[in-house]
Each structure stands twice: as C-alpha cells, then as structure tokens.
Amino acid sequence: MGIRKIAAQAALLQFLFLAVMMGAYSYVMNGTGMTMDDWYNPTKTAQFTLDHKSTFTLLWGLDWFFAITVFVLAAAFTQKFSRQQPWLGIVIGGFGVISSGLFLTAGTIGIYGVKLAVADYASGAGLGFMKSMTLMQSTVEMSAVAAIGVVTFATALASTRTKGFAAWVNWLGFISGFFAVASFALSVISPSLQFLGMIGMTTSILFNLGVALEFMRKPQPELHFPAQMQKL
C-alpha cells in the first residue's frame, strides 16, 4: 500500500473521529444540564467528569487515535510540499510531531488519571485529584489542537502556493487552522472564548474529508516510499 492510500485512510479516520468527538461534546454540553458557566467551575467540572467517566474515557481514547492519524498526515504533507516549500515543510513536520506527542500525552493523562482520581475520591479524599487531572488533561489536549492548527494552516498555505489541493480545501484549512490556534490563545484572556474551537472543529471535519478525496482522486507523485523500502 502506497503512502497516498495510507494518508487518504488517515484523513478519513480523522474525519470520522472528529465527527464522533463533536457529536459527543455536543451531547455532553447541551444534553446533560451543564451550562457554559459550569464548565469554568473546577468543582462542577470534576464532579461531572466523575459522574460521566465512561463518556470521557471514550473521548480521551480518541486522543490516542488522533496521535496516530496526525503523525501520518503530517508526514504525508511534509513529503508532498517540502521540496517546493521547504520552510513550510519543516513547520508541518515539526508541529505534526509536537501535536502527535501531545495527543498521546492527553489521552494517557485522561484514561489513567481518571482511574486514579476515582480511586482517590472513593477513599474519601474529595475532588482535589480529579480537579488537577481534568485541568492538566484539557490543557495538554488544547495545546495539541493548537499545534495541529498550525499544521493545517501551513498545509493550506503550501497547497495554495503549489496548487496541491482544490481551493475549497485550502480555505477550509485556513479557517480551521486559524480558529484552532485562536481558541487556544484567546482562552488565556477569557475561558469563554474556547467556543471558537468548535468553529475550527467543524471546518476541520470538512478539511479532512477534502484531503481524503484529493488523495484518492488525484495522483500524488511526491508521495512515495524510499527506493530501499520499495525493494522489500
């Protein structure tokens, strides 16, 4: 199987993962009685996470899958554009590795941290550990999203300059990348501005679908395994 097909499958998987995650977060945020202000209350958030640990464990497990798909796509984008856009290729590859590592870390903190937090709470220690765990996990996860936002924006820019993907795919990449980074940066000013990330997530779903279609429909001569591997 060539890199083009692997990258197309990774983009499709990321499209599906993002759709599932957006649906789950929409349910959690709108169908469980939690208001927007409640999410910025550490005690309420910790208690809610404890009460819905199975749902959050699923979402944190998706972070591990994102770590894989992000790495594969960043590698494919780097190979596709680095010859004509070397500096953007460095940015794509570097931030792709950073984002993949952060997603892996976020998923690990969430899945294993919640187990320790539940045990700590059951022993009568209160919600202190759960508060720390949810804050750490969300911070690392948001950092991973911001890093992949840089990858997406840089990919859209490289594609625009080289006419690698269709124009509509590039525009989705610009919008997705901008809002992913903006939601992280502006959340420092006001946590309520994190909602901008939902715009980035929506356009990212469509961007990944577009990338998958581009990889499947068009030949990608830049994407190939090294000659040594092709002989294996």
Q: What percent of the chain has pLDDT over 90?
A: 34
Mean pLDDT to the nearest integer, 25-51:
68
- Domain of residue 196, residue span: 3-219
State the DSSP code for 193: G
Query: Is residue 226 assigned to a domain?
Result: no
- What pLDDT, on a 0 to 100 scale, did the predictor assign at position 2? 64
Query: Is residue 213 assigned to a domain?
Result: yes
Mean pLDDT to the nearest integer, 200-220:
85
Mean pLDDT to the nearest integer, 181-200:
73
How many domains are there within the chain? 1
- What pLDDT, on a 0 to 100 scale, did the predictor assign at position 91? 95
In sequence order, which residues have a C-beta less than 8 Å from that of residue 227 and are 6 or more positions away? none
Query: Is residue 231 assigned to a domain?
Result: no
Distance CA 91, CA 64 (A): 22
Query: Is residue 11 assigned to a domain?
Result: yes
Name the most confidently modeled range: 96-100, 135-139, 186-190: 96-100
Query: Is residue 201 assigned to a domain?
Result: yes
Query: Is residue 224 assigned to a domain?
Result: no
Give the global pTM: 0.83
